[in-house]
Every structure is written in C-alpha cells, then in structure tokens.
Chains A and B, each alone.
Chain A
Amino acid sequence: MIVVTDLTVRFGGVTSLDRMSVTFESGTCGLIGPNGAGKTTFFNVLSGFIRPSSGTVTAFGENLLSMVHYRRARWGVRRTFQTEQAIEELSVYDNVAMVQEHSHRGGSRRDDVLSAISFVGLDIDPRTAVQTLGAGQRRLVEVARAVVGRPRLVLLDEPAAGLPDAETGNLAAVIRQIPARTGALTILVDHDMSLVSACCETTAVLDFGELIASGPTADVLRDERVVSAYLGTEAA
C-alpha cells in the first residue's frame, strides 16, 4: 500500500502536481488523465528523479522520498518508461540481469532472470540482442525487468503505447498476473481505456495536477468529471 499525502511538484511557475493525496491499496491500480495531467511526473517522484516541493509518500510503512534514487530499485521500486528504454546493446538476458543484480535479494540470478523472461512470455533465446527485437518484444523486456527479483512497487508508464491491438491484449494478460506473481502493488498509466479496465480493479484520475476521482475502475470511468476532463464539456 502506498499513501500519498499533499504531494506538490512545481517547475518554475507550472504546478505539475497540486496537493495530490491518494492511496493505492494493492493489486493493479490505474492512473489516468489527459496529457499533461501529471501522471509521469508522479512516477518520476516515486522513482526519485524529481524532488517534490512538499508532501509525503509512504510505501509499505517506509518514507520513500528519503531514499536515494538508485537505492529505490533495491528496495523494490521498478518502472518502465513512456518511451521504451530496453538497453539496445545488451541481450535480453543482460537487460533483466542488470536489474536483478542490483536488487541484492539473494537467490540464483539465472533462475530469477530466466523465470522473469518466461513470465512475460518472451519465447526467444535470452541471448538475443535487444536491438534485433520488435517494439512489442522490447516492451516485454522492460516488463521483465520490472518483475525480476522481488519488486514491491511496479510502475508501468504507458506500456502499450504504439503497440498493435493483438500485442496490447498479450501485454494486458501479463500485467494482470504481476500482482499474483510478485505480490507487488502495480500502478498502470495508460491512455488505452480498454487496457486500463482490463487490468485494474481501481483507478485514480488526474487532471492538471489534481486528483479528480478515484475508486473502482468501472465507476470512475462513468464519473461525469472524468468524462468531461477527457472529452471536454459542451459550451452552454
């Protein structure tokens, strides 16, 4: 469970997150909102790339914000990026091993890495260089990196961006299994509402840095404020 209280992020005169308070319980939670709503900013705060001007984030009872960014992976924060960041020069195996070996949680590295690769359904030689893979497979490599070892908080930033429908369906099946496999709280940011409703029991909605709704996904998607944030309101 992570509890976010009064989180505020400012870039100069722009307030990206405005006293955001939200609780993500467990399982897979959605985080949606129009472009510029602050979703990626929120992820960057959790990853430690951005220092918020105020507010707290308590993750499983620990103060996440006091941890140095690279130590958060060891603690259990994993993420994927909006623009996919599979390391091209490395093999599939090395991409995943790179995360595993910096999380220091004991156990056999090879078994960990190979089981993460097969969990995401990448049925290819693990020694294959990532630069030879297609977009969908690269996304899966990123997801494998996010689930290897013992993650406690998995952040998926638009994992289905640019993927064809068939591959998105495949990805949704993998994402749905993440909490069961790892026990990690998974937060999914995406614009694809079918993916969000397929994967997430609960969903929170951001608009201009403010939390405008949260609750069971089906209810949230029917919420009037959410619909108007996405589609706009008719001029009276």
Chain B
Amino acid sequence: MLETTEVAASTRHRTRLRRPATRTLVRGGVIVVLLLFALLALPQLLSLYYVDAMTEVAIYAVVSLGLGVLVGRVGLVSLGQIAVLAVGAWVAARLLFATTQPYPLVLLEAGLVTMAIGTIIGLPALRLRGLYLALITLMVAGAVAIVLASTNFPNGGHGFFGYNGSLVNIPPIRRPSIATSDPAYYRYAVVVAILMFLLVFVHIRTRPGRAWSAIRQSEPAALAAGINTTMYKLWAFALASFVTGVAGGVYAGAAHYLYSIDFPAQNSIILLAVVLMGGAYSLWGAVVAGLLSQLLPALLNNWGVSNDWLTILFGIGVVQVLTTAPRGLADQVPKDLARLGLLLARLVHRPAATTAEGEAP
C-alpha cells in the first residue's frame, strides 16, 4: 500500500519535472531576441568607436563570467583574473605569430594553456579562503605584471618570448580571415562569448554546479555528500581560467598590439568590484559587469568626463550594492522593474489593482 502511494507521488512529481515552466520559455525568448539584436542590429546602429567598445564588453563579460564562477558559485575570491587574461592574450599572440593555425584552434589552445597555469594559481585555494586567498592571487597578478613588463608581449620576433625589440615595423596580431573588420570581429567576439557562457551554464546546471553550491555554503555538508572538495575547487579554477584565457585570445586579435600596461594588477580589483555590482551569482551579472567596466568608460570618454570619476563611482556602487542588493544589479533591477510595473498598473487600472495585488508573490 505504502509503495503504491510512493510510486504515485513519484510519477506526479515526474510530470511536474518534465513540463517546462512558461517563465523559462519567456526567459529563453528574451535571451534569443537580445542575442540577435546584439549580433545583427547593433553593429549597424553603432559607430566604430562603440563597436570596438562593445567588443571589449564581450571580452570582459567572459572574464567576469570566470570570476563569477569563482566568487559567486564557489566562494573563492580571486584578485588575479586580469593577470590570467594577460596570460591568455600572451599565449594566443605567440601562437598567432608563430603559426598559421586557424583562429578557433588558437583560442582553444590559449584557453587550455591558461587553464593549466590558472589551476596552479588556484592551488593555494585548497588551504586558504577569503582574504588570504585574495591576497595571494593579487600577489600572483603583481608578479605576472612584472614579468610581462620585462619580457614584453610577442610582436613578431623570434625565440620563446617572440619580442623583436623594435618599436617600429611591428606587425599587428592577425584576426580570423572571416572577421578582419571591426564589426565582423565584434560579432566573432560575441559568438565566442556565447559559447563560453554556454560552457559555464552547462557546468552550473549539472554535477559541478551542485557541488560548488554545496562547497560555498558548507564544506562539511559537501564532504558528507561525497563531494571531493579539493577536486571541485580546482575544477572551478580550471573553468574560470579556461574561459578567461579564451577571452585573452579574443582580446589579442581585437587590440592588434599588446602592451603590459594594458593589464595592470589593480584592474583585477576593479573587476571584482564590477562583478559584485553586476551580480556574481548570475550569468546576467557577468554581462552587466562587462558593460560597466568597458562601455561606461567609453561613454564617459566620449562625453569628456575624466575616468577618475569611474573609480569613485565603482567604489560607491560596491557599497550600495553590498548594502541594498547583495545579489547585484542583475538580480535587483528586474525586481525593481517588476515593482515599478505593478505600481504603474495600479495607477492606470485602479479597479484591477486588487487582482494584481492578489497575484503578487
């Protein structure tokens, strides 16, 4: 008797599990429309200046995505992600000068090499958390910046470092043949970003995502669930470094020329700030972080406002977000918009107000 009720209950749940919620469909629709807009319409509408800025947004959205995995999913604070990006850019640049490999292959290789290096950087995370881990990763970022400043980025020279020592006659880093113009390269960057977001999405929705959530909330609970916390922490570093390395490869082609001053260690701190503001726990948060860190400076530049204001703005923004919206703008803005919509609906349809209230969660 007990068994039959159990089975009945289980089938009932199964049917519930299978039916896709309308909310998911709506969400998927919105994402598809936004992506089509970003890929097809945006390059037509924007000037080259903003197309380039949007390419940077796509790149930094992926970098933010990687940091979001570490900070938001697993609770590991890294202040070295810009150094990881620089490593990816370095590897890609070296390969692009040294070989004639197709661009996607170079991106993959840059991602894999960066993954190996990033995972080594993650080793201290097995022993340290919070402030101490943040300090160690910041020091690694500083070390990478120093090494890059003395060895320089590859610029068509020979040897391991590929630096030709000259400031004239430097060949630009090549772009894929299908995307040599800026608008085409922007689309290329967006497609790569979509692939990286999908990669992370699949991780989050399956076994590693569950394991990371458990580790983030309680390591004893994770261990008691049979989760090898050591392996999953390194896995998070590997994934974050991989996507950041690929982003570095895209950056190399976008910039054409790479200089160590483009990757200062302090940018890693600003990156953490924008990721927290955008929402470290959400994939949308990474897009918001990309917009905040790359489009906003471009806008301010265009309007003639000093970039120093940005640092102040980000400082205030982090405090504001941490006190009033700990899950970031990506979580807070839709909620606020929904609340605003409800208010407007009440103002417009006074009699319908009661039903709207009844439906509100």
Contact = CB atoms under 8 A, between A and B. Distances in A.
Interface of A: 47-49, 69-74, 77-79, 81, 85, 87-90, 93-94, 97-99, 101-103, 110-111, 114-115, 117-119, 123, 125-127, 145
Contacts of A69: 223
B174 interface: no
B225 A125 contact: no
B224 interface: yes
A101 B205 CA distance: 13
Contact of A97 (B9, B14, B210, B220): B210
A81 B221 contact: yes
A125 B228 CA distance: 29
Nearest to A119: B6
Contact of A49 (B207, B216, B220): B220
Contact of B226 (A94, A102, A118, A126): A102
Contacts of A88: 217
Contact of B223 (A48, A111, A114, A145): A48
Closest 9 CB pairs of A and B: A73-B226, A102-B226, A85-B221, A118-B9, A98-B210, A99-B225, A89-B213, A114-B10, A70-B228
A90 B221 CA distance: 13
Contacts of A70: 223, 226-229
B216 A101 contact: no
A122 to B, nearest CB: 9
Given A85-B218, A85-B221, A115 B6 contact: yes
Nearest to B281: A89
B211 to A, nearest CB: 7
Contacts, number: 89
A118 B227 contact: no
Most buried by B among A77, A89, A97, A99: A89
Interface string B135-164: 000000000000000000000000000000
A26 to B, nearest CB: 21
A87 B16 contact: no
B226 to A, nearest CB: 3
Interface of B: 6, 9-10, 13-14, 16-17, 207, 210-211, 213-214, 216-218, 220-221, 223-229, 281
B225 A102 contact: yes
A84 to B, nearest CB: 10
Contact of B16 (A72, A74, A78, A125): A125
Contacts of B221: 81, 85, 87
Contacts of A93: 17
A103 B226 contact: yes
B225 A98 contact: yes
A126 B213 contact: no
A98 B223 contact: no
Nearest to B14: A114
B225 A145 contact: yes
A182 to B, nearest CB: 13
B10 to A, nearest CB: 5
15 contacts: A49-B223, A69-B223, A70-B226, A71-B226, A74-B226, A85-B218, A87-B214, A88-B217, A89-B281, A99-B225, A101-B210, A114-B13, A115-B6, A118-B13, A123-B9
Nearest to B206: A101
Contacts of B211: 98, 102
Contacts of A79: 224
B320 to A, nearest CB: 23
B207 A125 contact: no
B227 to A, nearest CB: 6
Contacts of A48: 223
B245 to A, nearest CB: 27
Nearest to B207: A101
A87 to B, nearest CB: 5
B223 A110 contact: no
A127 B24 CA distance: 13
A89 B6 contact: no
Nearest to B72: A89
A200 B294 CA distance: 63
Contacts of A111: 10
Contacts of A94: 210, 213
